[in-house]
């Protein structure tokens, strides 16, 4: 009986030793992956544009330095619809008004892109930064006018 108990404890100890080795390998893999992700995010560019129009809460139109107009869909947020629906969704008008309040025509903004630059509707996907450094995408979430 004592031999069985000793064998059981040794087996558990060996098993746990093997698990801790695997856990440290996993932690190292995660650490390496996050380093790569952070490096990739740091490489993303921010470009300056002038606001030409607010279409709704999560879609705007900007103009580049050459005068080209670009439709921009805010990344990672979704506001209630006000266009192409029979009646605007609840808080859709409020989200649009909030975005219009933060973005005046002619105001300069910066766009930051992710890996995918265009959505299926050929809109540029971007995080929009205001002149004071705040991110419009976050401000909509903070106000409860958008969801992730």
Active site residue 73: yes
Question: Per residue in 31-58, is it b (16+ CB within 10 Å) or e — as a string?
Answer: eeeeeeeeeeeeeeeeeebebbebbbbb
Contacts of 57 (CB under 8 A, 6+ apart): 79, 80, 82, 92, 95, 96, 98, 99, 140, 145, 146
Catalytic residue among 61, 71, 81, 138: 81
Active site residue 134: no
Catalytic residue among 61, 66, 71, 73: 73
Structure-token match 């025509």, residue found: 105
Active site residue 142: no
Long-range pairs for 138-141: beta carbons < 8 A, 24 or more residues apart: 139/98, 139/102, 140/57, 140/58, 140/74, 140/77, 140/79, 140/95, 140/98, 140/99, 141/77
Active site residues: 73, 81, 123
């Amino acid at each position: 009986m004592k031999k069985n108990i000793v064998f059981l404890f040794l087996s558990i100890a060996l098993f746990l030793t093997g698990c801790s080795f695997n856990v440290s390998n996993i932690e190292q893999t995660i650490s390496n992956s996050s380093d790569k992700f952070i490096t990739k995010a740091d490489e993303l560019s921010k470009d300056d544009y002038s606001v030409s129009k607010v279409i709704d809460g999560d879609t705007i139109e900007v103009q580049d330095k050459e005068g080209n107009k670009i439709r921009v869909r805010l990344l990672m947020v979704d506001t209630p619809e006000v266009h192409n629906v029979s009646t605007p969704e609840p808080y859709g008008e409020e989200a649009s008004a909030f975005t219009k309040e933060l973005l005046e025509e002619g105001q300069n903004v910066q766009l930051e892109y992710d890996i995918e630059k265009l959505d299926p509707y050929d809109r540029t996907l971007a995080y929009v930064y205001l002149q004071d450094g705040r991110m419009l995408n976050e401000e909509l979430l903070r106000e409860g006018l958008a969801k992730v």
